[in-house]
Amino acid sequence: MAGKSQKGRSRRGAQNSTNYSEQMVPSDATTKGSLSDVKHSNAGANGLLTQSESPGTKTEAKESEAATSVDRPKQGDLHLYPVSVKTLGGEKLELQLNPGDSVMDVRQFLLDAPETCYFTCYDLLLHMKDETVHHLEDHNEISEVADITTGNCSLEMVAASYDDRSIRAHVYRTRELLSLSTLHASLSTSLALQHEATHGTSSVDPVKTEVLELDGLGFMEDVAASLSNFLSSPSKEIRSVESIVFSSFNPPPSYRRLAGDLIYLDVITLEGNKYCITGTTKFFHVNSSTGDILDPRPIKANFESTTLIGLLQKISSKFKKAFREILERKASAHPFENVQSLLPPNSWLGLYPVPDHKRDAARAEEALTLSYGSDLLGMQRDWNEELQACRDFPHTTPQERILRDRALYKVTSDFVDAASNGAIGVISRCIPPINPTDPECFHMYVHNNIFYSFAVDADLEQLPKRHASVNNPKIEGSINSLKNTDENDGNSSCFKVSNGCISESDGSNPSELSGATGLPTETQLAESEQATYASANNDLKGTKAYQEADVPGLYNLAMAIIDYRGHRVIAQSVLPGILQGDKSESLIYGSVDNGKKIYWNEDFHSKVVKAAKTLHLKEHEVLDEAGNVFKLAGPVECKGIVGSDDRHYLLDLMRVTPRDANYNGPGSRFCVLRPELVTAFCQAEAAEKTKGKSSVEEEHVAAPDLPNVADVNDLVEDKADPASASDSQFAAKVQKNETLQECGSTPTASSCQEIYFNPNVFTEFKLAGTPEEIAADEENVKKATQYLTDVVLPKFIQDLCTLEVSPMDGQTLTEALHAHGINIRYIGKVAEMTKHLPHLWDLCSSEVVVRSAKHIIKDVLRDTEDHDIGPAISHLFNCLFGNCQIVGAKGANSMQSKTQKKENSGKSSRGQSRWKSGASERKNQPSYMSINSESLWSDIQEFAKIKYQFEMPEDARARVKKVSVIRNLCQKVGVTIVAHKYELGAAAPFQTSDILNLQPVVKHSVPVCSEAKDLVETGKLQLAEGMLSEAYTLFSEAFSILQQVTGPMHREVANCCRYLAMVLYHAGDMAGAIIQQHKELIINERCLGLDHPDTAHSYGNMALFYHGLNQTELALRHMSRALLLLSLSSGPDHPDVAATFINVAMMYQDIGKMDTALRYLQEALKKNERLLGEEHIQTAVCYHALAIAFNCMGAYKLSHQHEKKTYDILVKQLGEEDSRTRDSQNWMKTFKMREIQMNAQKQKGQVLNAASAQKAVDILKANPDLMHAFQAAANSGGTTSSSNTSVKKSLNAAIASEVGAHPRGRGVDERAARAAAEVRKKAAARGLLIRPHGVPVQAVPPLTQLLNIINSGMTPDSSTNNEEMEVANTKVEDGNLSNVQETATEEKPKLDKEDQAPVGLGKGLSALDSKKQKMKQKAAA
């Protein structure tokens, strides 16, 4: 029973029930019905509800959270009913269950509770209050059996009999429980625990403790060295037993089977005793065997137990103690750290030094069974039937939709996991093909009910009849009729070819190959490889689009693309009936022969038309070869098939969006527009048509701005540029996004639906409409393409310049482009248009280098023998990042390269032709040895030019940011390298031993929950309006639904946690904000990777929240980690790094470390001036921050001078009338006034006396760091002169002289800050309590005294100083300085409600969005 239910999960150590409970935080006890074993919540499990709040605060935070979410029943928030459970051990515990929970869910909760975690084999009995007893079957829902809402129900666990399968599952589960490898501790948790340990629970005034200075600036100077700081050592295992292995007495002899023996285990305890244990159908006991002969008699009567752990506790006291420690360790971790991620990201760095490989018999046993993802016991899963059955679930009520989404998510995730394991078996040649007599490139495989084929182009079949064997009639039926083989048609790719096929052609007749067509063979093969890669990607996108359209009665296969060792394998669920002989008669729609013969069926067509409407595809007419006219609503080459299960399947969806009219040459057949662009274009057109009908609409969807899809930055998908966008674009922008994404909800719905595209224009298929109609269809497609180049691209560039979108690395850049509807092939154009911003140009050129290098490396790996893979990868990395010269091969190589360039005009992978022509060379040495740095870089340059129209500069090799490129390339190819410092200046920085692993890189279409997405979108709108409690309710509801659908380990759940943290932060509940932010951080580390930009921003936000609780030391440690991660993903030159520096400076400023704060501010200013230019608003923010810092120290002249620079930039950028410009002006007046007051004091005769001068000199001697930074200031102020000319020699002048001329920055989620200020204002207006997060005033530090002496010859009295600290008490939230206190000091100018505090202070930049809106509206008008 239980063994069965847990089998696969336990074996992979995955306990990945999709509804894992956060057992610990009562704040979420309400969020998932059924989730929380509240009785055992480890309330402090976070390790991060920090010390300074009293327990009272904690409970308050949690209770208020819980209260808010209980207020009203919501669609995702289910009512929970307490049900007591009597365990097998006789204890009682209480679960919170919902009638909709399945029995499997209950088992999972019991598996997670410490008291019951080691019971796997039991039946569940439900006792009702009327004393009836129900036996619960695994797949039932509780509500199907009995009504638990009546109360007084209890569950009883009753021991069930083991069988062969469940007893093995029990042993696996036991081993898993005894290991801590499934515990993924986040650095944030350990920092908090460390902090708690050092500071105890006493609320020490954080100001008094000495705060260590960050080595953050150090990370920036030497990024390569920081690799070694990146991975923390894994948690130390707690040893509980020497070994538990299957005994060599297995299997039990037949006479013992009849007595109930199932398994024998050999156990060595920590005490050194050896035991042989018998597992029977009822229990485990120690038998009397010694030596080589089985003696099945029990050794002692009391040495038996129903579980293995129970028995081990009886025979070993050390085991008992260690097991208790293991459970305590797991309980002390954050519950999310115990949950397995279903599809974890590949890690590109491995531990250094490489951990010793120790003997582990249990590990060896598992490895010996080469299952490649299939289950060895029991039936194989029928993936297709599972998936389609889940799609057929009812989905009318919210609860039904949640159950359906959960089932779909689980099946698809399991499929992707099994498919990637199987693909490794296919590529490693461990799984035999089903058509072994065909050429290798056309081999197909079925394993574990998954169909595999290599990415090849069917173009190859048009080459001379070199492969007669491919016409094997038996298979050809399946190949030709079904997508399962991925076999397409003449030009489209379908079957996907590995290099194996190319080697195969070496054996056949190459001259015959190239003779048939005018092109060299290599060019054709290389082009075909490109096309197939593109077509496989498009097919996956098309399949996803039809899945989301969700038309009843129209089905798609589960699909995944796996790239491994240079091969691309396409995995699909098996179409029912395909393997049972020729099924060509089951094709009833579309074409298998490139439109020569077209099939059509009325019923099928009606379903395709329904889907076409949501996809903006037009119903149109096409001709087949015989001239017959057919009405289609999709691409000609799609195939509609009736499976043997009578379901209608639609396959080969490579072109579900129209062709890109900018790319219509040969080889660009699969250059299609992105669905995001099609949606945006339709909405823009609709808005254009309805202009004037509704002024409101004009505001939201005004045509000239319409690539507000550009603005969207994938808010809806929350994928784009997660680094910046996802959480921060609320406010007015969200309203536009909402309008855009949900076009149907606006009055434009009808017109929005009017624009449909014919997917078959600009193709070789014959269209049957009138010439006018065809011309109109073509015009439509041209208009969409033009919209991309004329509107979307410029808008995207503008967003990049204003930092609306701020990608950090290749992945976030790709996501940002896609979110805006821009294909990666336009990246060369984007690079051209951002030449004036160095960090963006670097980012684009690095991405082009990585993508080009990836193709060349894959090419080499395909040809590399198993034993050469490590050396090949290290050699290629040395060629790319070092300077490798291969003496022997050099001449031949460059010659080959030249001739090849002449022949090769297509967009080909440079590598392929070389490997083929070097056949004789290859016999003597591996092909990778013929590559050197020169040839590799020239290949990359050529590839970049052909594929991305990107001209790489001569010095591209020198300019490339090596660490970021290594990281990006490793992630794209699946390589793991050792995390230590690489001498990247050396000729060969990589050794073979540095390459640790090569993993598959998987693309898939795991569905997400649209219901929760909509709630998040609505929540953002409420947050933008300052309606905190409504926003909180919506985000909690979304969190609750996602928790049920995907479990906690999903990036959408992380999004919800981030928004919940923001709402709590704005409501003044710092402790609650930290709880939610910590969850987001753990999920991002596990689902996106330890160094993903989102993870860095999570650390940054954690730091700001800790700082809000006055735990500056802990905050700075988190900032240090954020800087390390940013340096890995983007390198030191990025505006986000500058913004993070401002954050760090503010923290130092608040604890009185002004010298350190100034160093960071100067560094930020240098970066912003170099990256963004001297007149960017972000540069103004730096000047303003410096002005406030000097003001804090009483250096009013310098304050005035820096504020003047802020003012000048704002006047230029925003105009004098802008509220921020006026605020800046007010600050200047304030500083001037203070300066005048000081001068007045001086004139009263308080001149600088000898004692104070001596004091200043002493302070300068004690702080040599200050000498450099304050030389100018000291010169001007040390004498009593206070003339303006001397002020101009200030520190800032010194800074300005050092600054070069480079570009930009945004920090940790800067738009959030603007929205934050806006939200606070609105919340305050609505009378909500906003708790100021000010930091207590500190004593004036020595530096401040120094400046006071310089300025005035006396220390200002403490009251003035306190005011200064108040004014300066600013934070940079998410990259903007935003004044968290709303109070003004006496001297601070009173601003009216509309006038926000100056830029960078408080609501400084908050008005930017609304300002933009107004400007856009004017433009639109």
CB contact set of 144 (below 8 Å; sequence gap of 6+):
none
Among the listed ranges 633-642, 947-956, 1007-1016, 1372-1381, which one has the minimum average pLDDT value? 1372-1381
- Residue that wins the pLDDT comparison between 288 and 216: 288
Cβ atoms of residues 1153 and 1189 within 8 Å: no
Average pLDDT over residues 648-672: 87
Q: pLDDT tens, 1162-1217?
A: 999 999 999 999 999 999 999 999 999 999 888 888 999 999 999 999 999 999 88
Could you give the C-alpha distances from 1269 to 550, 811, 1157, 1204, 1297, in angstroms and in order? 64, 38, 12, 20, 13
Secondary structure class of 651 (helix, strand, coil): strand
Specify the DSSP class assigned to residue 1240: H
The residue among 9, 21, 66, 10 whose CA lies nearest residue 1049 is: 21
Identify the band that residue 221 occupies on the pLDDT scale cut at 50, 70 and 90.
low
The helix (H) or strand (E) run that includes residue 622 is strand 620-623
**Counting Cβ atoms within 10 Å, is residue 1253 exposed (0-12), middle (13-18) or buried (19+)?**
middle
**pLDDT at residue 907, rounded to an integer:** 36
- Residue that wins the pLDDT comparison between 1204 and 514: 1204
Identify the band that residue 609 occupies on the pLDDT scale cut at 50, 70 and 90.
very high
Specify the DSSP class assigned to residue 253: P
Identify the band that residue 1230 occupies on the pLDDT scale cut at 50, 70 and 90.
very high
Average pLDDT over residues 109-123: 88
Residue 44 pLDDT more than 50?
Answer: no
Identify the band that residue 1257 occupies on the pLDDT scale cut at 50, 70 and 90.
low
The residue among 1092, 397, 1272 whose CA lies nearest residue 723 is: 1092
Two tokens, residue 628: 């017959």
The CA distance from 872 to 874, in Å, is: 6
Residue type at 472 in one-letter notation:
N
Residue 1367 pLDDT more than 60?
Answer: no
The residue among 829, 802, 800 whose CA lies nearest residue 813 is: 800
Two tokens, residue 512: 């015959």
Residue type at 744 in one-letter notation:
G
**pLDDT at residue 1080, rounded to an integer:** 95
Residue 1346 pLDDT more than 90?
Answer: no
DSSP string, 1272-1319: HHHHHHHSS---HHHHTTSHHHHHHHH--S-B----TTHHHHHHHHHH
Identify the band that residue 444 occupies on the pLDDT scale cut at 50, 70 and 90.
very high
Torsion of CA 937, 940, 944, 950, to 10 degrees: -10
The residue among 662, 687, 795, 817 whose CA lies nearest residue 740 is: 687
- Residue that wins the pLDDT comparison between 754 and 1116: 1116
Mean pLDDT estimate for the chain: 73
Two tokens, residue 711: 């603005």
Identify the band that residue 1335 occupies on the pLDDT scale cut at 50, 70 and 90.
very low
**pLDDT at residue 1296, rounded to an integer:** 34
What string of H, E and C letters represents the secondary structure of 321-353? HHHHHHHHHHHHCCHHHHCCCCCCCCCCEECCC
Average pLDDT over residues 160-177: 91
**Counting Cβ atoms within 10 Å, is residue 463 exposed (0-12), middle (13-18) or buried (19+)?**
buried
Residue 1387 pLDDT more than 90?
Answer: no
The CA distance from 702 to 714, in Å, is: 19
> Which residue matches tokens 């620079």?
1205
The residue among 307, 308, 305, 312 whose CA lies nearest residue 270 is: 312
Average pLDDT over residues 357-375: 78
Residue type at 717 in one-letter notation:
E
Strand 450-454 to strand 444-447: parallel, antiparallel, or no bridges (unpaired)? antiparallel
Torsion of CA 2, 4, 9, 10, to 10 degrees: 60
Residue 306 pLDDT more than 60?
Answer: yes
Identify the band that residue 1252 occupies on the pLDDT scale cut at 50, 70 and 90.
low
CA dihedral over 134, 137, 143, 145, signed as positive or negative: negative
Could you give the C-alpha distances from 1386 to 433, 933, 1140, 1362, in angstroms and in order? 82, 66, 31, 11
CB contact set of 540 (below 8 Å; sequence gap of 6+):
559, 560, 561, 1003, 1004, 1005
Two tokens, residue 485: 């083989």
> Which residue matches tokens 């300068």?
1260
Cβ atoms of residues 531 and 669 within 8 Å: yes
The CA distance from 907 to 896, in Å, is: 18
**pLDDT at residue 1246, rounded to an integer:** 57
Longest Cα separation, the chain: 111
- Beta strand residue intervals within 865-982, DSSP E: 975-978
Residue 856 pLDDT more than 80?
Answer: yes
Residue 382 pLDDT more than 60?
Answer: yes
The CA distance from 207 to 848, in Å, is: 48
The helix (H) or strand (E) run that includes residue 256 is helix 254-257
The CA distance from 624 to 760, in Å, is: 13
Looking at mean pLDDT, say which of 138-147, 711-720, 942-951 comes out highest: 942-951
> Which residue matches tokens 């039991």?
122
Looking at mean pLDDT, say which of 396-405, 920-929, 1053-1062 comes out highest: 1053-1062
Phi/psi of residue 1241, nearest 5 degrees = -60, -40
Could you give the C-alpha distances from 1258 to 395, 571, 1342, in angstroms and in order? 77, 73, 10
**pLDDT at residue 1264, rounded to an integer:** 53
The residue among 226, 346, 425, 341 whose CA lies nearest residue 976 is: 346
Cβ atoms of residues 48 and 188 within 8 Å: yes
Q: pLDDT tens, 680-692?
A: 999 998 888 887 5
Helix-helix angle 164-177:2-11, to 10 degrees: 50
- Residue that wins the pLDDT comparison between 733 and 755: 755
Identify the band that residue 445 occupies on the pLDDT scale cut at 50, 70 and 90.
very high
